[in-house]
């Protein structure tokens, strides 16, 4: 019974391969041997196995490095925000905007920080500092939307 099923499967595969053979150009079939040696088959399979495993390993390593980099960036951002909040608490309570501007300007002078904005509890900007290339965007953010579009 098992040999009958096996022979049926083999016959089906042979007919499928013969049907597909008509789609292969004759220029390729006349140079191809009738049978491929087991050494070539084994070499081809091992090459595919090694290439596939290297691609899989590369994807795993890249994914891991991306995840670690994102975690490190988030931790750095949280640390900077905590440090800024601790150093600016008293300045906000005493309404010392000059000292706030000095603190956030020093923080923005670092090339790792694009900009710093301090908001009050109502969402209004108390102090802001950004890199020079972002100055127009900051000015537009403070303007009325219609007025900002007129300057574009």
Number of domains in the chain: 1
Above 80 in pLDDT, residue 47? yes
Instruction: Give the mean model confidence (pLDDT) for residues 51-77.
Output: 96
Judge contact between 117 and 108, C-beta under 8 A. no
Residue 66: pLDDT band with limits 50, 70, 90: very high
Banded model confidence at residue 67, pLDDT cuts 50, 70, 90 = very high
Asked if pLDDT for residue 105 goes beyond 70, the answer is yes
Q: Does residue 23 form part of some domain?
A: no
Domain of residue 118, residue span: 38-150
List, in order, residues 6 or more apart from 116 with CB less than 8 Å away.
84, 104, 107, 108, 127, 128, 129, 130
Does some domain include residue 26? Answer: no
In a domain, 68, yes or no: yes
**122 within some domain:** yes
- Domain membership flag for residue 102: yes
In the predicted model, is pLDDT for residue 26 greater than 80?
no
Query: In percent, how much of the chain has pLDDT > 70?
Result: 70
**Does residue 13 sit within a domain?**
no
In a domain, 16, yes or no: no
Q: How far apart, in whole angstroms, are the C-alpha atoms of residue 127 and residue 104?
A: 8
Question: Rounded mean pLDDT of the chain?
Answer: 80
pLDDT at 99: 87
Alpha carbons 132 and 105: distance in angstroms, whole number: 11
Q: Give the pLDDT confidence score for residue 132 in this predicted structure.
A: 57
Give pTM, 2 decimals: 0.52
* Residues paired with 129 in a beta bridge: 116
What integer is the mean pLDDT of 47-75?
96
88 in a structural domain: yes
């Amino acid at each position: 019974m098992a040999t009958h099923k096996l022979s049926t499967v083999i016959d089906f595969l042979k007919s499928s391969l013969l049907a597909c053979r008509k789609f292969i150009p004759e220029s390729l079939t006349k140079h191809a041997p009738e049978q491929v040696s087991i050494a070539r088959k084994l070499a081809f399979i091992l090459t595919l196995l090694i290439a596939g495993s290297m691609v899989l390993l590369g994807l795993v390593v890249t994914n891991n490095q991306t995840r670690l980099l994102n975690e490190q960036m988030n931790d750095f951002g949280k640390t900077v925000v905590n440090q800024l909040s601790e150093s600016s608490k008293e300045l906000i309570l005493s309404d010392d905007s000059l000292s706030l501007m000095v603190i956030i300007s020093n923080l923005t002078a670092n090339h790792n920080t694009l900009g710093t904005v301090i908001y009050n509890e109502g969402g209004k900007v108390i102090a802001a500092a950004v890199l020079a290339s972002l100055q127009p965007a900051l000015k537009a953010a403070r303007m009325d939307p219609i007025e900002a579009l007129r300057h574009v």
